[in-house]
Structure 1
Amino acid sequence: MHAEQKKAALLAYKERKQQMGIYAVVCVPSGQTWVGQTRNLDKLQNRIWFALRLGSERPASLQDAWNTHGQDAFRYDVVAQLADAETAYPEAALKELLATWRDRLGAMSMVST
């Protein structure tokens, strides 16, 4: 790859639009589900899985399920993405979507209480 191509690829990477939305972490054997909101759906699964492997993820119920069932028992699902029109005020839109999906899935929140 030439220097110009590398520079163009790096610029394109930096300028890409992040996908904001709601995600679910599902423990398949137990059926437990946790939902959360993020400004970057693409990168979040890696962060959550990393923290779970270290034993430092919250809420504690998620970490306990991970310790009991192991990584292969879990799934990361994107359940809703913000439309471009909603991104002017993403926090309000994300908060509303999170409440909707928490109720719809009967899920626990990813935020520790």
Structure 2
Amino acid sequence: MTPRKALLRAYKEEKPQPGVYAVRCARTGQAFVGGTENLATRQNGVWFSLKLGSHPNARLQGAWNTHGEAAFAFEVLETIDDAGLEPKGRALRLADRRKHWCETLNAVDLVR
């Protein structure tokens, strides 16, 4: 098996890790909290929409436009153990943990 095929196989077999993350602005101290089914790919998605100017959260997009990419950091706050959970149960657990982190960090919820 070629190294490329081995990497492709490993990627396909990798199980997504759900969890809660924060996007922090170093200049303002603001934190924006979100939940995702796949932490490994979430930062790329958030950064992509911010660079295009199309992020659905206007406060985050405004801070990005004002301070630029260098002022922001992506941080994994918590991974979710979803063993035995159906999709609805996983979504409820993510929502509960996202709410917890929003309250703990006095952060903006990216879903709202």
Q: Which amino acid aligns with 2:29?
A: G
Per-residue CA shift, 1:18-38, capped at 9, x if unaligned?
Answer: 111000000111011110100
Match among 52, 74, 93 for residue 50 of structure 2: 52
The 8 Å contact of residues 34 and 110 in structure 2, kept in 1 or not, is answered as: yes
Change beyond 3 A, Cα 1:106–1:86: farther
SS for the counterpart of 2:17 is: coil
TM-score (norm 2): 0.88
Match among 31, 34, 51 for residue 33 of structure 1: 31
For structure 2, list consecutive stretches of 5 or more residues without a partner in the other structure: none
Task: Give the equivalent residue in structure 2 for 1:74.
Answer: 72
TM-score (norm 1): 0.88
* 1:100 corresponds to 2:100: yes
The whole-number CA distance in structure 2 between the counterparts of 1:37 and 1:29 is 23
The 8 Å contact of residues 86 and 93 in structure 1, kept in 2 or not, is answered as: no
Per-residue CA shift, 1:51-80, capped at 9, x if unaligned?
Answer: 111111121010110011000000100000
The 8 Å contact of residues 34 and 108 in structure 1, kept in 2 or not, is answered as: yes
Q: Which runs of 4+ in 1 moved over 4 A?
A: none
For structure 1, list consecutive stretches of 5 or more residues without a partner in the other structure: none
Aligned-residue RMSD, C-alpha:
1.5
The whole-number CA distance in structure 2 between the counterparts of 1:33 and 1:58 is 16
The 8 Å contact of residues 29 and 73 in structure 1, kept in 2 or not, is answered as: yes
The structure that has the greater radius of gyration is: 1
Q: Which amino acid aligns with 2:50?
A: L
Change beyond 3 A, Cα 1:12–1:98: same
Counting matched residue pairs gives 109
